[in-house]
Chains A and B, each alone.
Chain A
Amino acid sequence: MSKTDALLTVRNLSVGFHTDRGDVTAIEDVSFEVRAGEILGIVGESGCGKSVTSRSIMRLLPKFNSFIVPQSEINFDGVDLTKVNEKTMRSIRGNRIAMIFQEPMTALNPVFTIGWQLDEALKYHTSFGKSQRRTRAVEILESVEIPNPEQRYDEFPHQLSGGMRQRVVIAMALCCDPELLIADEPTTALDVTIQAQILRLMDLLRRKTKTAVVLITHDLGVIAQICDRVIVMYAGQIVETADVYSLFKSPRHPYTKALLESIPQTGREHHQTRLPTIDGIVPSLFELPEGCRFQDRCAYKTQDCVDREPQLSSEVNGRKVRCFFPLCEP
């Protein structure tokens, strides 16, 4: 695989749910690529569809009430994940694509030791013998900077601190040297000092092993700190894509701009000033407006935005924006 080839290409991914109030489309026409060694950030507020996106890649959405629209394509290293059978998916999931969840305590089984849980993943995905697996598990624990890995191997999740648990979850994800790591709000439940450790670890990983990372977060600080490219989602759609520097320097979509402005700034000149806000709330997926989904909260709304729905248009240097009247120069 050459350097520019994408490891994961998602094209026109639309996912819906059957509900009591009828079918609803949670994400619509989501397309993006991730390359080896790259960290792609997906940012947006609750309910914008960022977790649905990640779960569809892993095929972890409940079968009985969700459906992937037929034209969707999730191409992972030449295989369309929407089409493969469950057996093939199982050989990829946890092995070539791994996932980290938000709450480490729910991702770990409280009645088994850390070692048992790491061993399970290795038993399933490798042909190692028992002692080899133990050596490998301890090695991985060491690589995520867990002190006394030999001792921790035999401990239970409740004996570890929150940050250490999250590192164990990352260790489990890394067991099989995945090519793609999907991290869904990996630091949201953690204190900043622990968050710093986890972010450093992820950055190290992609440098050392060229793992591609999809990092889902609502925290623009985390995006600014470690991502290479960013996707901004709003009400189930991508509204803007750009490399991280351009996005922060010259946001094109009014939503991106408003999000960036609503972070409290430090420093004397900003102290106790009123924060710019986005009026209103995210529209319900059941009552999406005609035209642009951001229209009710947008400061630049025109009649056009009410009548027609803007498409995601490509711009120079790989940026994309879904707006009739983009801000700033790209």
Chain B
Amino acid sequence: MQLLEVKNLVKHFPVRGGLLNRIVKKVHALNGVSFTVEKGEILGVVGESGCGKSTLGKLIVRLLEANSGEVIFEGEAITHLSAAELLPFRRKMQMIFQDPHASLNPRMTVGSAVGEVLAFHEVVPRQELATKIDALLSQVGVNVDSRDRYPHEFSGGQKQRIGIARALAVNPEFIIADEPVSALDVSIQAQVLNVLMDLKNKFNLTMLFISHDLKVVDHFCDRMLVMYLGYIVEEMPCQDIHADALHPYTKALLGANPVSDPAERHELTVLEGEVPSPYSPPQGCPFVTRCPLVTDQCRTEMPPLVEHAEGHRVACWEI
């Protein structure tokens, strides 16, 4: 069943400047992105910094307003709902942020940080609040005795778990995790990924997992979107991405990843050419300045996202 549909989402950020502080140029953060998310699946979004992956997450939960396009959640378009109309959807969609330290209020105990969400959305009656907080914290592997402690008393991994507990407080159906493990050490990263995996299996959660780390996305997600300069360039299942990847950008990303065993050392793929400016993306294909397969057609015409196999779409003229 389809839980979320994103249709042709566009977001441009105006840049002001000059004497009269007029809009002088625009950052083209998202240039018409469309995809769907099935219930119970983990959809990964990968790409380098500035590709628009975080903007996408924020547009879906409406922390940012889109310029055009639609977000349809459970069959209802939520892009133009008022704040009051949006409230029930806020309960169903929650977000986990990258920096667990920045997303927790340093002056609130972790118990009250989680409790605030419960009280605001009236998830449980007031007298059951304490039990619910304990249940949530133990679910993510945080010691319940620590509910009266402050964020600075916890390690990064623990704080991220608290962030996850808070997102889960309202029993959401859909979670957007924006680089949830990027700030963590590898051993802690593995712990948090396991927590997310367990919760996903337990509650049949649907997740949009935003990350710059292909290894993590490959391991953790069911499908992934590869983004470049505000476009989706490839959409594919994460079964065997090394064998399945078709787009030259996805291949370059894979080839630039260091090996995990020195016995398998190979020359890393290094992309030549300049990274285009998001103020003035190139005509035609966005990857044209760095692509090894570039032709004249690529320079003038934007390749459409075409289905190559079931669930595998690629935007490239040369495939």
Contact = CB atoms under 8 A, between A and B. Distances in A.
Contact of B262 (A45, A200, A245): A245
B238 A259 contact: no
Contacts of B258: 195-196, 199, 219, 221-222, 224-226
B259 A45 contact: no
Contacts of A267: 240, 242
A224 B252 contact: no
Contact of B256 (A162, A196, A278): A196
B193 A275 contact: yes
Nearest to B212: A191
A65 interface: no
Contact of B190 (A196, A266, A275): A275
Nearest to A43: B186
A279 B187 CA distance: 8
A263 interface: yes
B86 interface: no
A63 interface: no
B219 interface: yes
B274 interface: yes
Interface string B127-156: 000000000000000000000000000011
Given A161-B275, A192-B256, A259-B187, A271 B48 contact: no
B296 interface: no
B239 interface: yes
A224 B261 contact: yes
A266 B241 contact: yes
Most buried by A among B215, B252, B261, B269: B261
Contact of A218 (B186, B270, B271): B186
A317 to B, nearest CB: 15
A212 interface: no
A21 interface: no
Contact of A199 (B48, B185, B238, B268): B268
A220 B260 contact: yes
Most buried by B among A221, A226, A258: A221
Contacts of B269: 193, 196
A281 interface: yes
Interface residues of A, number: 47
Contacts of B271: 193
A193 B253 contact: yes
A258 B275 CA distance: 38
Given A195-B256, A218-B185, A259-B186, A264 B197 contact: no
Interface in B170-209: 185-191, 193-194, 197
Contact of B193 (A193, A249, A264, A281): A264
Interface string B211-246: 010111011101000000000000000111110000
B218 A266 contact: yes
Contact of A262 (B49, B187, B238, B262): B187
B262 A263 contact: no
Interface in A231-264: 244-245, 248-249, 258-259, 262-264
Interface of A: 45-46, 147, 161-162, 191-193, 195-197, 199-200, 218-227, 244-245, 248-249, 258-259, 262-268, 270-279, 281
17 contacts: A147-B274, A193-B253, A193-B271, A195-B256, A195-B258, A196-B255, A221-B259, A223-B262, A224-B260, A224-B261, A264-B215, A266-B242, A267-B240, A268-B240, A272-B219, A277-B194, A281-B158
